[in-house]
Amino acid sequence: MRVRLAYLTQSVAADPADRLVPPSDGALRSEGLVRARGSLKHHSARFSVDDTLLPFDPASLQPLA
């Protein structure tokens, strides 16, 4: 659950995403491994997430001012 939340909020709330899954925390990445069941649309190596649902990459979002 933490990995998915961090993946979805990585660009708009980078600090909370880094606290949920620190970039250097490889154990959490393998624990939260999410594999695609359908057609792959996006992949995040940092969070080990294969995204098959979102029509956009959450990493491309801009934070609100």
As a whole number of angstroms, the distance between CA 19 and CA 65 comes to: 21
Domain for residue 59, yes or no? no
The pLDDT assigned to 19 comes to: 92
Domain for residue 65, yes or no? no
Tally of domains within the chain: 1
- The residue range of the domain holding 7 is 2-54
The pLDDT assigned to 6 comes to: 93
Domain for residue 7, yes or no? yes
CA distances from 17 to 4, 9, 40, 50, 59 (A): 10, 6, 23, 17, 11
The pLDDT assigned to 22 comes to: 87
Q: What does the pLDDT look like over 5-44, one tens digit per residue? A: 999 999 998 899 999 988 876 545 555 556 667 788 988 8
Q: Is the pLDDT of residue 45 over 90?
A: no
Domain for residue 39, yes or no? yes
- Token output for 18: 């880094």
What does pLDDT average to over the chain?
Answer: 82
State pTM to two decimals: 0.75
DSSP string for 2-63: HHHHHHHHTTTSHHHHHHHS-TT-HHHHHHT-B--SS---EEETTTTEEESS-SS-GGGPPP
